[in-house]
Chains A and B, each alone.
Chain A
Amino acid sequence: MPLDADADADATASAGAHSSVGVPATVRSEEAAVSVSGLVKSYGTVRALAGVDLEVAAGTVLGLLGPNGAGKTTIIRILTTLLKPDAGTARVAGLDVVEDAARLREQIGLAGQYAAVDENLTGLENLTMVGRLYGESRATARRRGHELLERFELLGAAKRTTKTYSGGMRRRLDLAAALVANPPVLFLDEPTTGLDPRSRLQLWETIERLVAEGTTVLLTTQNLDEADRLAREITVIDQGRVLAGGTPDQLKDRVGGERLEIALDGASRVEAAVRALAPMTDKPPDVAGELVTFGVRRRDGAIIDAVRRLDAAEVGIKDIALRRPTLDDVFLALTGHAAEVAEDEQETVA
């Protein structure tokens, strides 16, 4: 896990470095592609956003991380001109989301939580329709549709209605539809929710390629691995407020250093284990059943030290591992609750 995280940090950094070359002319790489300040939105008495500020540098990915009902989708809907904010301002690609809404729509792509494609049209017909609604001629729109289908490995299914597509294929088509006009800024609302691991990985690779070509991406997710892998910066929101922001590493540092995770051989000896391990840590260890977790003072030799102490206290262990804090830990520390993967997101946004 720690190795993966480092590799991804490098990948994201290099993608960022390329961006100055590939960024479409409408957004200069040195300015923020998205900047939001003091955004407020209520639905009746429910306050969905209570003053949100955030910024996305051109050519990078910002991950908007939060539980269900945190306000992620509301932010996306405001930034894509589907919804007007009650207060605050938001600019995307240099255009105000309210004042310049019509012009802004030419600069953005949106792929939603639901794959918004017409089930009774074929893949090619869907993309052609979207292209024509961007004002392209039928021929141009078809050509562009072909290109995108090829790129998203859907050419074989171009002439099949999309109701015959798998979930992963629909998401890819949805993303392709968002890219028809080559928008410099892309909004992805939980792009991989409900996908199997393989389709998820494919979609991640696609998003990484887009960013390498200079697209700015704002994506919402409840999936911490996704944010960790794709986003250069992460903004954690809960109940319509920004709780924290920064790179994945910065956020993890806020929770503390390396953590030792020990699965005991049975829960009966937990107290003895905690006593034996106490000298290794500043804070009392977290205990969940037979799992004991704590931040270590020194990384080197921590595992051997722990094994010796537990052995001396006659506590058996099943498994022991040293790991960096994950975004799960960050999330838990910031929101006071774990990131739950719930099925009812649509209720909170409908």
Chain B
Amino acid sequence: MRRLVTDTLVIAERNLVRLPRAPELLLAFTVQPVMFVLLFRYVFGGAIKTPGFSYANFLIPGIIVQNIAFGGFVTALGLNEDLHKGLIDRFRSLPMARPAVLAGRTLADVVTNALSATILIITGLLVGFSFHTSALPVIGGFGLLLLFGYAFSWVFAYLGMLVSTPEAANSVGFIVVFPLTFISSAFVPVASMPEPLQAFAEVNPFTIMVDAMRSLWLGIPAQNNVWGAVVWSVAIIAVFAPLAVMRYRRATSQ
């Protein structure tokens, strides 16, 4: 057990140390989300009606949730690369705790997600977003974000080992997750969508998650959204972590 912890930390550290050395990844974490905030806030913001909210207040929880869900793409890229470049073979020939490869990889995402979310919150505050609740729900919201991001790290871990190249991992992740984030309450009120999309958006976990963040940060009635978001996150982990572990076993037993 002690070995599992130390080995997980060694792998997490490795993944964090290498990140700043891949400039394109670093840009994806820092500049890209800021760019999206600015584009949505100032290009679409004037045209989208969000009754009861300023668009900045409406947008920031939504865009942060979208961003955190994509944080795990580094895991998809990283695992795919490690598998094909023989690093996983090296790890598996060492007397280390085997689950540490996946656990360390996804743990590193929690750190980068926290960094990325902080950058977005600061950007949000600069473009007109403000918290309407006390410190506790604000911090709770941040924790919920990290949990949700962690769940998607496992989705991406699975996808990353399912496909044959890092490029494919990237585009599959994009095609699967991107529409999910848009057909939700993240960027526009669900009521403004055509009927069939509304029906989907209302049950979409992204809507539940975004609404949970709005209740924790803006003080709108929570209904069951916060618990719903926790349950969804845990459920995604419960499904995709075992899938990823199985895929890892299969990918490495050939």
Binary contact readout B94-131 vs A (1 if CB under 8 angstroms, 0 otherwise): 11100000000000000000000000000000000000
Majority SS at the chain B contact face: helix
Q: How far is the CA of A113 from the CA of B85 in the complex (A)?
A: 10
Binary contact readout B17-40 vs A (1 if CB under 8 angstroms, 0 otherwise): 110011000000000000000000
Interchain CB contact under 8 A, B90 and A116? yes
- A350 / chain B contacts, CB cutoff of 8 Å: 254
With both chains docked as a complex, state the minimum distance between the C-beta of A277 and any C-beta of chain B, in angstroms. Answer: 51
Q: A102-B95, A118-B87 given. 19 additional CB < 8 A pairs? A: A43-B254, A81-B92, A82-B93, A110-B89, A112-B89, A113-B86, A119-B85, A120-B17, A120-B18, A121-B14, A121-B17, A130-B90, A132-B6, A133-B91, A133-B95, A134-B94, A135-B95, A161-B21, A350-B254
With both chains docked as a complex, state the minimum distance between the C-beta of B166 and any C-beta of chain A, in angstroms. Answer: 13
Interchain CB contact under 8 A, B86 and A132? no
Q: Is B7 an interface residue (CB 8 A)?
A: yes
Interchain CB contact under 8 A, A114 and B86? yes
**Which range contains the number of A residues in contact with the other chain?**
20 to 34
**Which range contains the number of B residues in contact with the other chain?**
20 to 34
- A102 / chain B contacts, CB cutoff of 8 Å: 95
Within 8 A of A (CB), among B56-104: 85-87, 89-96
Query: Which of the residues A103, A109, A116 comes within 8 Å of B89, measured between beta carbons?
Result: A116
Known: A118-B18, A121-B17. A132 touches B10 (CB 8 A): yes
- A108 / chain B contacts, CB cutoff of 8 Å: 93
**Interface-central residue, A114, A118, A135, by most chain B CB under 10 Å:** A118
Q: Is B3 an interface residue (CB 8 A)?
A: yes
- B22 / chain A contacts, CB cutoff of 8 Å: 120
Within 8 A of B (CB), among A60-84: 77, 80-84
Within 8 A of B (CB), among A117-138: 117-121, 125, 129-130, 132-135
Q: How far is the CA of A350 from the CA of B93 in the complex (A)?
A: 17
